[in-house]
Structure 1
Amino acid sequence: MVRKVALVTGGARRVGAAIVRSFAERGYHLVLHHGHSPDEAQRLATDLETEHGVRVLVVQEDLADPAAPARVVQAAVSAFGALDVVVSSASVMEWRDFDAVTPEDWARTEAINLRAPFFLMQAAGRAMPDGGCIIQIADHLAHETGFPRLMPHQITKAALGQLVRAVADHLAPRVRVNAVSPGLVLAPDDLSAAATARFLRDVPLARSGTPDELVEAIHYLVSASYVTGTVLRVDGGRHLRR
């Protein structure tokens, strides 16, 4: 059986790890990229190879390096000879008071949240066969105000939506490009119960989501052969009230 190959950036922890696991469960060989989580990445890779009989290549790269996205794609092609799906999940979300944001903060956030996805899609677009699929992980915060301590993150994620539309048009009809824009599907470790409750007051479905629900949306886009240039919101309807 010829297995398809999926590349997931930021795949060692949290939501990224759930995405990686979902592809292994579906029989994909995997390229598991991480920035600074070698132990978690290797444990996950070993578990998936044992449980699902797939091959998992672990690749460490700091995506703030302009050349890193192309190296990640080249590692995938060198290892497997093919690349069918790319999920760009790596991102930076650092809390900073508006007056405390430095040019260095801005540059790192922009580099990982926006520049790296662009060059990852550029390299993948060259390497993928007809029918390839690229999915960016956006953020509901891109569509909102009221989070001044996350402004660099918000602005770069908003720009990511426009980038998806532009690249989708450019790579069509060979490669489809879409994004998933999740709401609260996995709360930050430091988010209090009170803060979570306040957030959920503006969610019509009145609950947080789950990584599995985000994964379902990703695999819908993988299989949706007539969908490109779309940002799919998986936010419990929060965008209806913001």
Structure 2
Amino acid sequence: MTPAQPLALVTGGHRRLGARIAMRLARAGYALAIHGRHDAEPHPFLAGCLAETGVPWAGFVADFLDDAEVQGLMPAVIAQFGRAPDLLVNSASLFGQDRLDTVTPSDLADHFAVNASVPVLLTQAFVKADRSGPANVSVVNILDQRLAQPHGDQLAYTLAKYALEGFTKIAARELAPHVRVNAVAPGLTLVTEDYAEAQVDRLAASMPLGRLPGTEDVADAVLYLAGAAAVTGQTVYVDGGAHMRSFARDFMHL
């Protein structure tokens, strides 16, 4: 790792959307600290990219429901690479299926811990880390397009993402001019087994742009914000225009 090579910490970066973001950053030349909850073994497509690009990387395991493991993550990254990250991508997320009539105190506590409190604490540690000389230092939080037109599904998750959205704006004000803080709000990007193929086609057609976003679209937005020296406090919606329409329920129920 050269002194000039930027370093990114991507939480939840070993699989799914986080891994796609990590892969895009690797192709842009970033060294990578890849976090996972139970393991940090890169998904095969990410492992292939890391081998192809040859960028320095290391995996870090931390359960974000364990305060001690949260507090230990940033020091572990700094110890491994000998320097603080230039970019923090808060991508790790907890996603449940509760609604107002079913949500429990533990649902709320766990979702706020992982989706809101941990990004705040990691940003705190990220900002306090020693850095020498001027640098392009930034945080990118991963939100959700539903925040523009909320519905009642996944209530604890949604409320926690609202908190993270608010923190994005507060931190952008508090940390300027030395640290920029922005967010990306994806729409339906990685479908699960809950979706039928025909359902996905119908959902894509219902978007204002007639398409759903791909993982590369979201990853490109993260990379843009990482380097956009004149941008802070912004949320970029990458959702095929879904945030401009109101949906009565989560996409899986439509």
What TM-score do the two structures reach when normalised by structure 2?
Answer: 0.87
2-structure distance, mates of 1:141, 1:235? 10
Query: Does the 8 A contact of 2:185 with 2:237 survive in 1?
Result: yes
Contact kept, 8 Å, 1:45 with 1:58, in 2: the verdict is no
**Structure 1: gaps spanning 5 or more residues:** none
Q: What percentage of residue pairs aligned between the two structures are identical?
A: 35
Give 3-state SS (helix, strand or coil) of 1:225's partner: coil
- Residue 58 of structure 1 pairs with residue 62 of structure 2: no
The alignment partner of 1:86 has SS state of: strand
Report the counterpart of residue 101 of structure 1 in structure 2: 103
Relative distance call for 1:101 and 1:212 in structure 2 (3 A) is same
Give the root-mean-square deviation of aligned CA atoms: 2.0
Structure 1 position 22 matched with structure 2 position 27: no
* 8 Å Cα contact 1:9-1:33 kept in structure 2: yes
Contact 1:48–1:56 under 8 Å retained in 2: no
Matches within 5 A, 1:5-154: 5-38=7-40, 40-41=41-42, 47-80=48-81, 81-127=83-129, 129=131, 130-146=135-151, 148-154=152-158
TM-score normalised to structure 1 length = 0.91
The 1:184/1:133 distance shift into structure 2, 3 A limit, reads: same
Number of residues of Structure 1 aligned to a counterpart in Structure 2: 240
Supply the AA of the counterpart residue of 2:17.
Answer: V
Counterpart amino acid of residue 228 in structure 2 = A
Task: Work out the CA distance in 1 between the residues paired with 2:103 and 2:66.
Answer: 21
The Cα offsets for residues 43-72 of structure 1, whole Å up to 9 and x where unpaired, read as 677544422222211100011223433321
- The SS at the match of 1:99 is coil
What CA distance in whole angstroms lies between the structure 2 residues aligned with 1:100 and 1:195?
A: 26
Q: Which has the higher helix share?
A: 1
Question: How far apart are the structure 1 equivalents of 2:201 and 2:128?
Answer: 45
1:150-193 alpha-carbon deviations (Å, 9 max, x no partner): 11111111121110000111111111000000111222332233
Three-state SS of the structure 1 residue aligned to 2:67 is coil
Could you list the runs of 5+ residues in structure 2 that have no partner in the other structure?
Answer: 247-254
Compute the displacement of 1:36 (Å).
2.2
In structure 1, the residue corresponding to 2:101 is in which secondary structure? helix
